[in-house]
Amino acid sequence: MDMEVHGIWIDALRLIVTLLLVVKSAQTLEMTADKIPFLVAVNGSTVLLPCKYSSCIGIENLYFRWQFNDNGTMQTVCDGTIPSEGVVPKVKMYKDRFDFVGMNKENNISILLWNITFEDAGQYTCFGRNPKEYNKNHSAVYELIVVSELSVVDNTLTIIIASAVGGAVALLMGYMLLKNFTLFVLSKLEEKNKECLVTSSGIDNTENGLSGSKVDSKPKPAKQK
């Protein structure tokens, strides 16, 4: 009996731990950069470095920070604190040519980089910490690739393949239409030939006095006495 009670207590504790883990995972803060975590941009252009945060239970004094990995040395680009949802954060910028454009709209804490150079290429980390989740923190990494010019993709082969496939499809459709039209004409000709055969057969029978032919129904004249 004691063993059964002990087993029940163990199962109950396991269930409680599982529930706590589920609740904790549901409350976890998450920072996301973008669906595609990298960007190829031309030297001298302006780029947006995206970042959003999410939390199932909301935020309270959420601290965030953008950092740039400069050959292994993490340099802070900007940081700030968001008191609660919908409140515009006070952001402090540490590097030139960067602007904070998130304004906490739709949990957005993105930054803008003006007139990029080749030295700006590298990894940018968006970090967040939420005290409401016992200082749970999370990071998202975004890669910036700077090039002198964007490469032009040669679509000649693609156009040739598409033209060939389109021509083959058109030819097949033309063949199917011609085939169906030919079968239709042949069926009509066959029906007409059958009608002609039936008609001609009736005419022949009439001329030869066969069954179904016309018979002279006039009575023969009586003999004179």
Q: DSSP label at 74?
A: E
pLDDT digits (tens, 9 = 90+) for 91-136: 999 999 999 998 887 899 999 999 999 999 999 999 999 999 999 9
Token pair recorded at residue 225: 């006495």
Q: Which CATH number applies to 29-147: 3.30.365.10, 2.60.40.10, 3.30.1360.120, 3.20.20.210?
A: 2.60.40.10
Q: What is the CA radius of gyration of the chain?
A: 44
Is the pLDDT confidence value at 75 over 50? yes
DSSP for 113-153, written as a single string: E-S--GGG-EEEEEEEEEGGGTSEEEEEEEEEEEESSPPPP
Cα(66)–Cα(163) distance, rounded to whole angstroms? 49
Flag the least confident range among 106-110, 154-158, 199-203, 206-210.
206-210
pLDDT range class, residue 18, cuts 50, 70, 90: very low
Is the pLDDT confidence value at 34 over 90? no
Cα(22)–Cα(43) distance, rounded to whole angstroms? 46
Buried/exposed code over 127-148 (b: 16+ C-beta within 10 A; e: otherwise): bbbbebbeebebebebebebee
pLDDT digits (tens, 9 = 90+) for 79-88: 999 999 889 8
Is the pLDDT confidence value at 183 over 50? yes
